[in-house]
Structure 1
């Protein structure tokens, strides 16, 4: 019998894998699935990005392994993008690292920072890869509960001193998945002061920096830590540029953290195909026309979905950002988000993500991803209405 590592035990449950099984069972039963469970944009990648990738296919030099120094043009484009947007000087040689999406960064950075028994402070609810990376590194997790009455922001004063003394990193994520909450530069400065006090790395997962609907651009963590003393930020082109399938992003920030993550990455893989980076460069150098079109699309979907939910009597707050709606469950289901989502997809074909799958504090909520057209979203709410009347 093969013996497996104990670290696998903490990876057996995953909100997306669990819902994938539920969707498969519903399909087998003949249900037409409206999948609102996964934040994978259904919008197409812009033509000008695809043309750049297509041209690269015929450049034979792009068919080889791609090491760090071969990514210089992409790193320079990422540094220039940050400098234009946030007026932050960035060294593309020492302060930028290409990633296979931001998830690679959040999953691998704990391997560079944590020894077994060290703590990571993670948002609860939070994105599953934040938890998985700490588990793989043998670290301990201290959950920072997010509550609606605090705007889904953590209270640093609640962290026990004995945990702070053993903590090596704190992971934030605003605009936040799954709650859609946003954070101010004042909050980030408070987080930096807290991490300074206990000598922690401050990690910010920032995939939704463009997907905001009130006209205000959310801050980068580097605007709080301009000197990049202890902060690192992860950005992906999956959301802003609808490039999820191309798996391209980058880390930016403190040079020592970048180097440490680079060492881990070098032991795991090389880099993506050079043509993908060329497409990403075209995206980062473009004006914001394509990005604004994506934002406008998700704003319309948000408004249609919220209006439809309110029309069936389900009061749902209007999110300021992201591609999600974070909805408190009706009273009969308040303590059973998994049961609600499984029953919903089995009986109606509408798939959503149970709040508890993002952490203990997510129980009582459900996340809907606005990744279908307004017409389909309206149909989904009609099916939800029928389900609620029967349950």
Structure 2
């Protein structure tokens, strides 16, 4: 006799049930987000961005030093190549999610030329839709509930929330002193059970512009092998450095490919932010894991963009160096101007930002967010309050170098005018 539990035939002798004659009491329809979304805090810069938008709609000329969005165009030869490639109908279909071969090969040549690092373009490099996308998907590939990542503090938001969206946990470590950072990594690994699975590093650092020397990554590799954690280096500002400083690649440290990967981008030095061209390079197994995730999420970037990116890597390195000099000049204008106002700040060696401590008496009398809103509402200068980068950023502002030197001088004048007449009682 057939077990009725496994009989898919409906019981035709079952009595019919009349449908209800009245609708149930209406209730509000509720959309419940996944717990990973509920772990995200409100967007810290939402208030400033909304005010910025409203002021510009009203006709105010706001100088925006908030976002690191390059205002200079890519080299013309790159734009011309994009136009030509876009006219080819063969470039309009789905592309490879890991990037076309010649693009990955060209990045391998850059690593060899600039850092002395040998990379297998087939297994140790993957193209991403910007480094931010690649980083977030790498977190999905590596982390899950119960896994912990050590991250720099203050932190670029994706370093924190990319881990959280992957259902992982974070331990944030002060990034200002490289030696102290390494000691804290070792201490965390010695005293946490289970040990952290991933270390995230980011030099030149966003937002603080902290930098390291090559020996730092030698120690990172040593600690990774001792404690068994994986390393992700966000090298977004590899191409923007000043005064002869050369940001070191994590992959140039002996044994780095054994333990980790490095993300780079063409957004900054090449002025291709909106093009969304990034790369992950290093440990072949980690690259494979990222490729597995990407294979389920996307079909790769528009092939014409990839072809133009090849030309950028191959032919415009001299312009990348010139772009760093442009940012260096802007840095000098902004730093010297703020110092004349009595602000105490260091001149960054790399990156697209100045990390400035709010001067007294405002630092003691209002929050960083309140001070940022004051500069926007009364001075028409938009900045990124440091608290948007975690508790360690409280008391600081991040100011980008995307405006030209004339606009930066104007920003300093407007800040001076905004703060000069203010009397703050103790």
**So what's the TM-score if we normalise by structure 2?**
0.87
What is the Cα deviation at residue 12 of structure 1? 3.7
CA separation in 2, counterparts of 1:22 and 1:110?
33
Residue 359 in structure 1 maps to residue 359 in structure 2: no
1:342 corresponds, among 352, 367, 373, to: 373
Please give the root-mean-square deviation of Cα atoms over the aligned residues, in Å.
1.9
* Cα distance between partner residues in 1 of 2:370 and 2:126: 41
Deviations 1:162-185 (A, max 9, x none): 436331111101111111111111
Task: Identify the match of residue 274 of structure 1 among 276, 286, 303.
Answer: 303
Equivalent of residue 87 in structure 2, options 31, 46, 58: 58
**Structure 1 residues 363 and 151, CA gap change in structure 2 (3 angstroms):** farther
Shift of 1:30: 4.8
Looking at secondary structure, tell me which structure has more helix per residue: 1
* CA deviation string 1:258-295 (max 9, x = no partner): 00011111111111110111111011112522112101
Which residue is equivalent to 1:137?
166
CA displacement at 1:331 relative to structure 2: 2.4
Q: What is the Cα deviation at residue 156 of structure 1?
A: 2.4
Q: In the alignment, what sits opposite 1:293? A: 322
| Secondary structure at 1:11 match in 2 | coil
Aligned equivalents of 2:141, 2:191: Cα separation in 1: 22
Gaps of at least 5 residues in structure 2 are: 1-29
Are the counterparts in 2 of residues 16 and 38 from structure 1 also a CA contact under 8 Å? no
Name which of 241, 266, 288 aligns with 1:237: 266
Match of 2:233 among 189, 204, 218: 204
Q: CA deviation at 1:146?
A: 2.7
Going from structure 1 to structure 2, the CA distance change for 1:206 and 1:307 (only over 3 Å counts) comes to same
How far 1:151 moved relative to its partner?
A: 8.5
CA distance in structure 1 between the partners assigned to 2:395 and 2:89 by the alignment: 53
Note the C-alpha offset of 1:348. 1.5
Q: Deviations over 1:361-390 (max 9, x none)?
A: 111110000110111001101111112223
Matched, 1:387 2:387: no
Mean Cα deviation higher: 315-324 or 95-104:
315-324
CA contact (8 A) 1:174 1:182 kept: yes
Q: CA deviation at 1:58?
A: 1.0
Q: Helix, strand or coil: the match of 2:203?
A: coil
Query: For the Cα contact (< 8 Å) 1:125–1:362, is it kept in 2?
Result: yes
Shift of 1:14: 3.1
Q: Structure 1 residue 9: deviation in Å?
A: 2.3
- Does 1:326 pair with 2:355? yes
Give secondary structure in 2 for the equivalent of 1:120: strand
Deviation at 1:62, TM superposition (A): 0.3
Q: Distance in 1 between matches of 2:225 and 2:336?
A: 44
**Contact 1:52/1:279, CA 8 A, preserved across alignment:** yes
Q: Tell me if the contact between 2:62 and 2:382 (Cα under 8 Å) persists in the aligned partners.
A: yes
- State how far apart, in whole Å, the 1-side matches of 2:74 and 2:350 are: 20
Q: Does 1:33 align with 2:62?
A: yes
Match of 1:93 in 2: 122
Mapped contact 1:180–1:322 kept (Cα < 8 A): yes
CA distance in 2, matches of 1:151, 1:213: 23
Displacement of 1:118 after TM fit? 0.9
Map Cα deviations across residues 220-260 of structure 1 (whole Å, 9 max, x no partner). 10111446101100000000100001010110000000000
- Return the offset for 1:69: 6.8
**Aligned partner of 2:151 among 90, 107, 122:** 122
2:76 matches 1:13: no
* Pair 1:10–1:28, CA change in 2 (3 A): farther
1:46 is the counterpart of 2:75: yes
Distance in 2 between residues matched to 1:81 and 1:345, nearest whole Å? 41
1:78-89 equivalence runs, <5 A: 78-89=107-118
Q: Cα 1:202–1:268, aligned 2, differ >3 Å: closer, same or farther?
A: same
Calculate the TM-score normalised by the size of structure 1.
0.95
**SS where residue 238 of structure 1 aligns?**
coil
* Mapping 1:169-208, distance limit 5 Å: 169-208=198-237
Superposed displacement of residue 22, structure 1:
3.0
**Structure 2 partner of 1:111:** 140
Deviation at 1:32, TM superposition (A): 1.9
> Cα gap change, 1:349/1:217 in structure 2, threshold over 3 Å: closer, same or farther?
same
For these two proteins, the number of residue pairs brought into alignment is 390
